[in-house]
């Protein structure tokens, strides 16, 4: 690959200086402390983050327009500009780090079965689009398509990435290698192999096959984690877990070795979104029990995403290291508030559709957030507001800016 031109190095270094200044603001240390208190179930106030943003709709005054052409420079420029943009227009409780994480070039992260999809794209600039997954698991024999991984490390590529980062950020921000951050989910890949409809019908029609499928996927993920640990390729403790602040006094473990992070030093996030429509008994049978070996090996667990978890908290209590539970737009907040109480963080996901309506109703947003806050006060739930899955704001970025302002006001009210 060609060297990065000096003009592009200058662009990156100037942006890095701005980010380093933001990282040095006292509010960053204050936010870390607030996240530690929340994650320790000693909340000072609700926390606020907006993530998974439709960046294709956010550009104003060319603040996000890239000036670099070199692929490495472009990636860093994208990240830096977004950090600066967020702090300028929608400052939430995110923590900006004074360092650059350089991902190690880990190879072999595959379970051997690629998705087969039909897609429908309505906005070519948006990476969110509709999928139809074609079922590839129709028999016991098809389960053999799922392979045990063979993890490796391209040390030359990692060294190259580090050389580039040191050249761009040296003397301005810290630079360090970071291992692989694995998405540890069984049902997310299954739905891409079978489609949601195909998998749900199989649970009814072919339960033995689905049991074998889930067990095979769990075994493959456990093997992946084992190999990442053994080779020192697992990521270290993160600042975010599933879009929420991950700062905690409980991780990593006291005997943590930065050269060889272990799963027990880390948060994980578990989810089984497509099982939101099955009975609690089936949920326990096909998700909680078979996936328990994965949950138990991590330090702390954030559980859930878009799946409504009300009525299932008793099952989730089997996972002893759960600390946060997702409260999706399709869940009963009142019921979950009563079920969660002071035992877990009430990780509220306000409906992003409120940012995409024809008219933008600030009063509705404030009422929605205030209702959540009041429910959590009533039941003593530690609370965070996580606005995510934002696929569109109708090209009106000020809507998201305003949502963050309102959420900050409600959280501090």
| Per-residue pLDDT band at 292 (split at 50, 70, 90) | very high
Secondary structure string (H, E, C) spanning the chain: CCCCCHHHHHHHHHHHHHHHHHHCCHHHHHHHHHHHHHHCCCCCCCEEEECCCCHHHCCCCCCCCCCCCCHHHHHHHHHHHHHHHHHHHCCCCCCCCCEEEEECCEECCCCCCCCCEEEECCCCCCCCCEEEECCCCCCHHHHHHCCCCCCEECHHHHHHHHHHHHHHHCCCCEEEEECECCCCCCHHHHHHHHCHHHHHHHHHHCHHHHHHHHHHHHHHHHHHHHHHHHCCCECCCCCEECCEECCCCCCCCCCCCCCCCCHHHCEEEECCHHHHHCCHHHHHHHHHHHHHHHHHHCCEEEECCCCCCCCCHHHHCCCCCEEEEEECCCCCHHHHHHHHCCCCEEEECCCHHHHCCCCCCHHHHHHHHHHHHHHHHHHCCCEEEEECCCCCCCCCCHHHHHHHHHHHHHHHC
Q: Is residue 200 part of a domain?
A: yes
- Evaluate if residue 356 carries a pLDDT over 80: yes
| Angle 359-362-367 from CA coordinates, rounded to 5° | 125
Q: Which residue has the higher pLDDT, 119 or 164?
A: 164
Percent of the chain residues topping a pLDDT of 70: 96
Q: What is the mean pLDDT of residues 185-206?
A: 95
- Given this model, what pLDDT does residue 2 score? 87
Q: Is residue 73 part of a domain?
A: no
Q: Is residue 41 part of a domain?
A: no
- Evaluate if residue 48 carries a pLDDT over 60: yes
Domain extent for 132: 102-235+277-293
Q: What is the mean pLDDT of residues 256-274?
A: 96
Q: What is the mean pLDDT of residues 365-388?
A: 98
Q: Is residue 208 part of a domain?
A: yes
- Evaluate if residue 1 carries a pLDDT over 90: no
- Given this model, what pLDDT does residue 118 score? 59
- Evaluate if residue 373 carries a pLDDT over 90: yes
Q: Is residue 221 part of a domain?
A: yes
Q: Is residue 333 part of a domain?
A: no
Number of domains forming the structure of the chain: 1
For the full predicted model, state whether its pTM sits above 0.85. Answer: yes
- Given this model, what pLDDT does residue 130 score? 67
- Given this model, what pLDDT does residue 127 score? 64
- Given this model, what pLDDT does residue 129 score? 54
Q: What are the tens digits of pLDDT across the range 155-187? A: 999 999 999 999 999 999 999 999 999 989 999
Q: Is residue 22 part of a domain?
A: no
What is the rounded average pLDDT for all residues in the chain? 95
Q: Is residue 63 part of a domain?
A: no
- Given this model, what pLDDT does residue 116 score? 64
| Per-residue pLDDT band at 133 (split at 50, 70, 90) | confident
- Answer whether 231's CB lies under 8 Å from 259's CB: no
Q: What is the mean pLDDT of residues 393-412?
A: 98
Percent of the chain residues topping a pLDDT of 90: 92
- Given this model, what pLDDT does residue 121 score? 57
Q: What are the tens digits of pLDDT across the range 62-113? A: 999 999 999 999 999 999 999 999 999 999 999 999 999 999 999 999 998 8
| Per-residue pLDDT band at 124 (split at 50, 70, 90) | low
């Amino acid at each position: 690959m060609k060297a990065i031109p000096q003009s592009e190095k200058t662009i990156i270094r100037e942006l890095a200086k701005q980010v380093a200044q933001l990282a040095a603001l006292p509010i960053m240390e204050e936010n870390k402390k607030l996240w530690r208190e929340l994650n320790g179930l000693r909340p000072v106030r609700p926390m606020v983050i907006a993530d998974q943003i439709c960046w294709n709709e956010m550009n104003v005054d060319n603040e996000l327009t890239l000036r670099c052409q070199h692929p490495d420079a472009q990636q860093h420029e994208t990240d830096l500009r977004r950090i600066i943009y967020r702090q300028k227009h929608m400052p939430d409780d995110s923590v900006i780090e004074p360092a650059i994480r350089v991902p190690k070039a880990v190879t072999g992260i595959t379970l051997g079965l690629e998705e087969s999809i039909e897609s429908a794209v309505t906005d070519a600039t948006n990476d969110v689009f509709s999928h139809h997954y074609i079922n590839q698991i129709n028999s016991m024999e098809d389960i053999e398509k799922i392979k045990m991984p063979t993890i490796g490390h391209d040390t030359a590529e990692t060294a190259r990435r580090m050389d580039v980062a040191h050249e761009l950020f040296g003397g301005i921000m810290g630079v360090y290698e970071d291992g692989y951050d694995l998405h540890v989910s069984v049902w997310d890949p299954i739905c891409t192999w079978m489609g949601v409809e195909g998998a749900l019908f199989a649970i009814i029609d072919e339960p033995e096959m689905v049991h074998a499928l889930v067990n095979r996927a769990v075994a493959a993920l456990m093997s992946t984690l084992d190999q990442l640990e053994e080779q020192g390729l697992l990521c270290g403790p993160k600042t975010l877990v599933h879009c929420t602040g991950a700062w905690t006094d409980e991780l990593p473990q006291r005997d943590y070795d930065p050269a060889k992070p272990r799963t027990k030093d880390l948060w994980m996030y578990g989810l089984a979104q497509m099982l939101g429509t099955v009975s609690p008994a089936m949920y326990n049978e096909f998700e909680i029990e078979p996936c328990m070996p994965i949950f138990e090996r991590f330090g702390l667990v954030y559980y859930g995403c878009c799946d409504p978890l009300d009525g299932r908290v008793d099952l989730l209590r089997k996972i002893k290291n759960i600390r946060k539970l997702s409260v999706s737009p399709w869940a009963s907040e009142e019921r979950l508030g009563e079920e969660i109480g002071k035992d877990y963080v009430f990780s509220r996901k306000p409906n992003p559709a409120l940012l995409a309506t024809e008219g933008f109703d600030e009063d509705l947003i404030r009422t929605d957030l205030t209702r959540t806050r009041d429910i959590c006060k009533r039941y003593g739930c530690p609370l965070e507001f996580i606005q995510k899955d934002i696929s569109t704001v109708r090209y009106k970025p000020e809507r998201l800016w305003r949502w963050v302002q309102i959420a900050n006001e409600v959280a501090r009210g």
